[in-house]
Structure 1
Amino acid sequence: MSLLKLIGVLLDYPRDELWEHGPELLAACDDPALAPARQRQLRGFVQALLDSDPLDAQARWLGSFDRGRSMSLLLFEHIHGESRDRGQAMVDLVDTYRRNGFELDARELPDYLPLLLEFLAHRPQAEARDWLHHVGHIAGMLAARAAERELPHAVLLEILVEAGDGKVNLALLRQRASEEARDDTREAMDRLWEEEAVRFGSDAPAQDCAPPRRSPARPSHPEVQP
């Protein structure tokens, strides 16, 4: 299993099948591209996940990535929000996938970070590094917020920043994250629902730009065809 595939699997919703592949996940942590300290951190993350109850791990994932928008794993959420530009960006990304033999499940959004990492795991190393460089600022901010919230996933996101040449000032992003108002509290989510009135006609956002709600029933990702 490649490093990018491993990080994508670990960032994704932890389906029950994950516990069946523990030895493979642990073996993949010894990737020579990682410094020994990172290998130990990654192995520690995997072992802690395997030692946890699946239902508890799934509940923690939902609480970490499915509450509020600041920790969303949908990349275009952080770039375009709910603007109409997001729809075209989705179309362009799907076209990129298809041109490289990567077909998506109809229920999956193309900008979902674990899905992008699965795609990049099958691309040439230089191309994958270039993609990671371009999304490094998003991965860096997610890493900073995860660290601020004491989420173990912070190490996964930091590894992605480093894989994209690491030209992101994580210390500065952590400072910024520490000053942000949390958007995953019950009070913050209640305010968000109150502020987002239903809009019709020309004022309504495009349907494909609406932020999705992740479901615990995670579909399997398709493989890249050779």
Structure 2
Amino acid sequence: MSHPLLFLCQISAILLRYPDELIKQESSELGTLVSSSDLTVEEKKAFEDICDFLRVTPLLDAQSQYVQLFDMSPSLSLYLFQHVHGDSRMRGQAMVDLLEDYRAAGLDMKGNELPDFLPAYLEYASLCEPEKTRDLLAEIVDILAVLRDRLQARQSVYSGLFRVLQNASGRVPDKEIVHAHLRDTAMMDDPATLDARYEEKPVTFENASPPTGCQTMRHANSDNSHVGSRK
């Protein structure tokens, strides 16, 4: 069996993905694998609780709970840079840099998943040397702490997993950063805030004075040119 830290990241990457039929079918086997591993008692319990949840919960219910948590609640987004850069251009550059790290390690993203998706990041971490893996967890420990507290407040079975990842990083989260993020929880998940955030706005140009006869064209351009992407 691999190094406990690498195994911890590998299991976390699996259990944090959208629960499908295959994961549900293998939840008992995953639980057995965890129980026979070299993880600590606390670490084993965190993973076994999720495996038990997936095993006894109807698949549609498990999927619904996952979506409500991680897809419908921006404060619980599993996209790391969303918590750091929001929708700014800096997020795009950060993802490009992270993707280069993946490729340098011989990994290549497939499908439509973004490189800052936490399960993908953990899968990458599970393939590194343990020292590098710990450094990768330490880099995101503040985000892990924020997600742990938010999930704990919702009494989610996933909260223990984030506590385990946080502890495995070997770094203490920055309390000021964590508290600042936690203060924004309600606002981030407020429906009105989400509507305003994703509202499509027309592209406008300052100090633009089109020649006479072009008023209709300017009106059409402002009506039809929009920026409306969630990512």
TM-score of the pair, normalised by structure 2: 0.78
- What is the match of residue 39 of structure 2? 33
Instruction: State how 1:60-209 maps to structure 2 within 5 Å.
Output: 60-168=65-173, 173=178, 177=182, 180-181=185-186, 183-184=188-189, 186-194=191-199, 197-199=201-203
With over 3 angstroms needed to count, the CA separation of the structure-2 counterparts of 1:120 and 1:187, relative to structure 1, is same
Q: Give the superposed CA RMSD.
A: 3.0
Q: How many equivalent residue pairs?
A: 207
With over 3 angstroms needed to count, the CA separation of the structure-2 counterparts of 1:200 and 1:99, relative to structure 1, is farther
With over 3 angstroms needed to count, the CA separation of the structure-2 counterparts of 1:115 and 1:184, relative to structure 1, is same
Once the 2 structures are TM-superposed, how far is the Cα of residue 21 of structure 1 from its aligned partner? 1.3
Q: Deviations over 1:109-163 (max 9, x none)?
A: 0000001111111111110000000111111111111111222111111111011
Once the 2 structures are TM-superposed, how far is the Cα of residue 183 of structure 1 from its aligned partner? 3.5
Q: Is the Cα contact below 8 Å between 2:46 and 2:161 reproduced in 1?
A: no
The structure that has the greater radius of gyration is 2
Amino acid at match of 2:57: S
| Consecutive unaligned residues in structure 2, runs of 5 or more | 2-6, 207-224
| Consecutive unaligned residues in structure 1, runs of 5 or more | 213-226
TM-score of the pair, normalised by structure 1: 0.79
With over 3 angstroms needed to count, the CA separation of the structure-2 counterparts of 1:18 and 1:73, relative to structure 1, is same
Looking at structure 1, the residues matched to 101 and 226 of structure 2 have their Cα atoms a distance apart, in angstroms, of 24
Once the 2 structures are TM-superposed, how far is the Cα of residue 106 of structure 1 from its aligned partner? 3.8
Q: Percent same amino acid among aligned pairs? A: 29
Classify the secondary structure of the residue corresponding to 2:186: coil
Choose between structure 1 and 2: higher helix proportion. Answer: 2
Q: Is the Cα contact below 8 Å between 1:3 and 1:28 reproduced in 2?
A: no
